[in-house]
Amino acid sequence: MDSAIKLDRLAKSFGSGDTYIEVIQEATFEIKKGELVALIAPSGAGKTTLLMMIGCVLDPTKGKIWLGEDQVYDDKWLTNEKRKIRREKIGFIFQAHYLIPFLNVLENVILLPQLNKVDEKITKEKAMELLKYFGIEDKAYEMPSNLSGGQNQRVAIARALANNPEIILADEPTAALDMKRSVDVVKLLKKIALEQDVAIIMVTHDERLLPLCDRVLTIKDKKVYNLSVKEFMNNGSV
């Protein structure tokens, strides 16, 4: 498997003097294409901070980031096109689906490729393939308000895949769902990782979902640990 995400001593701090606080200390790990990796840690430990640095949304303090074969950060951003990287390489999924309420399902899914100026016919064909893949092609012209929570989350996942990303960053995508729907979503993410050759980092608080993942990242005392699921479950953490 090819590398999708690689960090070397990535760190993040905020403030200075009396207000200085370290959030992440020298995170070093690698995630391959086809892997579903859980990120689990207590609230306030820095999970979203780590995710947003990988997603080129938040500036690190120091360290290195590679996305695929491209190094994008080396104590400073090596590109002025972070927005382009986010649009072309990364799909984001959040706890709330954030579908645009006045657009139908198909229009929500094709929005990002259209912004990337992909041909409209190709965009629609890809979107319908994704909706069929998720079993909701019959909802293509429905408004989000007419769908269930689980269906809306499937649309949000389809939207995240519409630009053929190499990486998906999912920030608690199952938090608003019951256990059965949560398991369904994580199984779907695992299927996507394998079949679409995508690397997925999924933030979760629910340890019951971890056996569905390939590995676990956890944060303790500002340090990021890369563990097997068995290691994490046996130790309860690190």
pLDDT tens-digit readout, 64-89 = 999 999 999 999 999 888 988 888 88
- What residue ranges in 45-188 does DSSP mark as E strands? 62-67, 70-74, 90-94, 167-171
**16 Cβ contact partners less than 8 Å away, ≥ 6 residues apart:** none
d(C-alpha 229, C-alpha 231), whole Å? 6
Bridge-based pairing state of the strands 215-220 and 223-228:
antiparallel
pTM comes to 0.87
The answer to whether 4 and 214 are in contact (CB under 8 A) is no
Q: List the domains of the chain with CATH numbers.
A: 3-235 (3.40.50.300)
Number of C-beta neighbours around residue 170 at 10 A: 26
Mean residue pLDDT across the chain = 90
The pLDDT tens digits for 182-230 are: 888 889 889 889 988 999 999 998 899 999 999 999 999 999 999 999 9
